[in-house]
């Protein structure tokens, strides 16, 4: 009986020694920045805005430059949308961030502060989302063909911004492709028809 017990213990010990050790799980790799075109980011912003007000309509979409994206390919890690609720007479911005960089809002959706909305204000004219057929990457491609390529060849570190809004005078939805740090400080600004994708003009201001 003792011999049998010793044999069982020996076999168990050998089995334990020969078993493959359980591999340790590798730590998750840091997630890289998520860059989106204007239309892709707009869909996320629009859903969030409709959660705020069922009649929410967009009046502006704009990209932001940060350490993860300079806008050269029509994509950005940060997009900000302005929405208005005619029923509530309120406006509310929403910002989507695809990065955890220090110079960016927290990753995900970030609602802003609600404000009053005046439908007669020329800077907050709402537009029908069905007019948005040309994406920001296509707008960048067209802008490159009208002076943008030469500018970036000379100064490749120039950031590119995108602003989408309704032009009341020309009755069209326009992409403003801005080669510079802001709407007021730029080296080149080009207007693209956001519905047809056609070049409109070089803007002076």
pLDDT tens-place string over residues 157-193: 999 999 999 999 999 999 999 999 999 999 999 999 9
Distance between CA 160 and CA 140 in Å, rounded? 9
Cβ-proximal residues to 86 (8 Å cutoff; 6+ apart), any chain: 55, 57, 117, 119, 126
Nearest to 52 by CA among 98, 106, 114, 132: 114
pLDDT tens-digit readout, 100-110: 999 999 999 99
Residues 203/138/103/79 CA torsion (nearest 10 deg): 90
pLDDT at 23: 52
User: Which of residues 7 and 177 earns the better pLDDT score?
Assistant: 177
pTM of structure: 0.84
pLDDT tens-digit readout, 110-143: 999 999 999 889 889 999 999 999 999 999 999 9
Question: H or E segment at 163?
Answer: strand 160-167
Are residues 162 and 40 in contact, defined by beta-carbon separation less than 8 angstroms?
no
pLDDT-based confidence at residue 10 (cuts at 50, 70, 90): very low
| Averaged pLDDT of the chain | 89
Are residues 68 and 40 in contact, defined by beta-carbon separation less than 8 angstroms?
no
pLDDT at 18: 47
Calculate the alpha carbon distances from 186 to 69, 137, 148 in Å.
17, 19, 12
pLDDT-based confidence at residue 95 (cuts at 50, 70, 90): very high
pLDDT tens-digit readout, 165-174: 999 999 999 9
Sketch the domain layout of the chain as residue ranges.
36-202
Distance between CA 56 and CA 35 in Å, rounded? 25
pLDDT at 205: 80
> In the predicted model, is pLDDT for residue 154 greater than 60?
yes
Question: H or E segment at 9?
Answer: helix 2-18
pLDDT at 7: 45
pLDDT tens-digit readout, 19-64: 455 555 565 555 679 999 999 999 999 999 999 999 999 999 999 9
First to last CA, the chain: 99
Are residues 63 and 38 in contact, defined by beta-carbon separation less than 8 angstroms?
yes
Distance between CA 187 and CA 205 in Å, rounded? 11
């Amino acid at each position: 009986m003792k011999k049998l017990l010793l044999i069982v213990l020996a076999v168990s010990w050998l089995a334990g020694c020969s078993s493959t050790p359980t591999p340790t799980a590798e730590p998750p790799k840091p997630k890289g920045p998520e860059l989106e075109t204007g239309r892709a980011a707009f869909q996320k912003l629009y859903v969030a805005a409709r959660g705020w007000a069922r009649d929410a309509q967009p009046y502006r979409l704009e990209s932001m430059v940060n350490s993860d994206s300079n806008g050269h390919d029509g994509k950005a890690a940060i997009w900000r949308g302005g929405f208005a609720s005619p029923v509530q007479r309120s406006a509310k911005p929403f910002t989507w961030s695809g990065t955890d960089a220090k110079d960016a809002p927290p990753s995900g959706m970030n609602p802003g502060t609600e404000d009053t909305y005046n439908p007669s204000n020329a800077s907050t004219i709402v537009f029908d989302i069905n007019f948005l057929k040309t994406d920001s990457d296509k707008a960048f491609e067209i802008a490159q063909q009208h002076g943008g390529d030469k500018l970036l060849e000379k100064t490749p570190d120039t950031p590119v911004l995108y602003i989408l809004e309704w032009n009341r005078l020309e009755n069209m939805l326009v992409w403003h492709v801005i080669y510079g740090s802001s709407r007021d400080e730029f080296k080149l600004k080009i207007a693209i028809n956001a519905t047809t994708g056609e070049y409109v003009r070089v803007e002076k201001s």
